[in-house]
Structure 1
Amino acid sequence: MSPFRSLFYITSGGCILCTGTNFITFNDKFYKKYIIPFFFMCDPEQAHSLLIFSGKYGLIPKSIYKDPPMLKTKLWDISFNNPIGLAAGLDKQGEITKALYNVGFGFVEVGSITPLPQPGNEKPRVFRLLNSQSIINRYGFNSDGHDVVFERLKNLKLHQNFDGIVGVNLGKNKESKNAVSDYVEGIKKFASVADYFVINISSPNTPGLRDLQKKNALKGLLSNIIEARNEYCGEHKIPLLLKISPDLTDQDKKNIADVINDKRYQVDGLIISNTTVKRVEVYDNPNALEPGGLSGKPLQETSTKLIAEFYKLTHGAIPIIGVGGIFNGQDAYAKIKAGASLLQIYTSFIYNGPSVLINIKKELECLLREDKYNSIADAIGADCKK
């Protein structure tokens, strides 16, 4: 073999090894320089489909990062390896739940899932706002439906040696005449595979959905859902969470708190918050005027403030999952100190890849240690108790 050929093989091998190492270790600079730009060459929905394809065919590496013991937490008798979950909207159809959990999330939320299959809104329906690291979507609950998603989750739980935590986010069909029935049917269908349920009544992309957050409508909805949960989940009552909008009026907030503080309608947790229809600080971005829900950095302050408000309105008695604009450990820590027991990310994962998850966990551990906390639980609501 000639020296030049040998040099070629050695150099090529070194490049492949280096690339592979950076890929499987979720190297931050590597992902931002190569992987994310590759995905961003596609339009947002094509990139989403490419991610789903990658997860289905084993192209998403499993994280080798070990979660610090300090980040372990327990809620609803469920033990979480870390408090950072993946919000609903990415694994809408339960297709790559295991692959995403293996990236290092503490839990993965699937959905929103509607009883009957529906295509959602017309395309294009997803838009990047690069200048503000945010996304506008108006998917409109595109869903494969209860039956298909249930079979996927049943197969995951029964046949894939999977012990991860899966939340099932339920929605209603756009043309449904009975929203309450849609959510009740979801409880019945997924009772055997869900680790927790989310009642999504706050998406801005299904006409009339947010009206279910009004006081009397919410009472009727929750009374029926809680009854179904208690009947179909047996002695192990699966936690029931309510996902609310960041666009609530002060009276809306008080009304929701009044309902869920009532033992008859009390849920096990809140997810704060969904996307916003407001466009604060994003009007210099192309696509800013597209209709739909805005997620990402512009939502960070709004969602953190809303977490603190509901922590106080519920006297810290109802656990909160904080979501909205978490891009680093400080963002995560602010939500915990505002009253969140767990957290979720979505947009920051799209913009940064899995490296953002490791960075958030590392930074969060440092911040807890700096303030001499021994666990996440010790810091929950700290800013509301001053």
Structure 2
Amino acid sequence: MFDEYLPKNLEFSWEQAATTAIALAVVLLAALVLHRIVFAILRRIASMSSTPVDGMVFERLHKPLRWSFIAIAISVLAARDEDIAFVWSTVSGFVIPALLGWVTLSIAKAFTDALEYRTEISVDPVAARSRRTRIAILSRTATFAIVLITTGLMLFSIPAVKEVGVTLMASAGLAALALGAAAQPTLKSLIAGLQMAITEPLRLGDLVVVDGHTGRVEEIRMSFVIVRTWDERAVVVPTSSFLDQSFENWSRKNEMLTGPVYLHLDPATDVEPVRKEFERFLHAHELWDRRTGVMLMTEAHPESIELRLAVSSRTIGDLFTLRCDLREHMIAWLRKEMPDALIRHRLEVEAANQRTMQRK
């Protein structure tokens, strides 16, 4: 009953089928044994290395190379067995491009893992963030290209799709226009991602202010960037926005930053004691890096004066804590030592009401 599905030059034979099955089992077993031996040797070589990078690369290649060994074994058998050749010629157009793409993708991922490991042991945090950003973007670009090419090769193994491709190549002008219009957003995101990797306006871990949101860059993809704010919200920003619009990067070269604390006091306040207390507190605080510690009167109004207490710290997180501590301490000190310096509009209104009541 199977004769009608076989080519005319092939006749079904149980003996031949058994022989083919045994030959197939033998070559598959030989491929698996060879794969095990090769990777046993590679693991032994990796164990003698001073870093785990070699082992990471070999582990990435373990599964795809196992199936590649099997495919090579079947190809060798197909050259000698017509039955296997008939089946293999049908599926090889899908299997071989898929395996090549899988191996290439695994190699790219292995090198990505190796580069990320070398980045983790770097002592320079800014350089490490820079390398991590480039690795992430270029890795995703390579993944996109490998998957696209592999899918194209697999589809072109289908005769109908191949004919459509030839027809499109014949009318290349119209096809290029249509494909260009359809792929414009994808190409724009791809180019924007590559620009981000080369120019590095921001990197993973940078503290940025974009669209009124302040947070750390958590993830950079080809089409969007995720910024994690202090309250754990994830702000999704298109990648092209960082190239087309302005934004603030607070940790471009390092995390050393200067920030202000503002005090609004009564115009009759004696400023010098406030300055001395500010300097005393600052010199005693462990988070101050001694780069900036200046108090200036930046505004003077009939109702109040504004004092700007500028301080600096080694990291952005330390600066935030230092500013909070300074603000809390100065208000408490003023309340205790110089209560007249604090503005009391509410108390003045109550005193005026009392005087009015007394006159009545």
**Global fold match (TM > 0.5):** no
Normalised by the size of structure 2, how large is the TM-score? Answer: 0.19
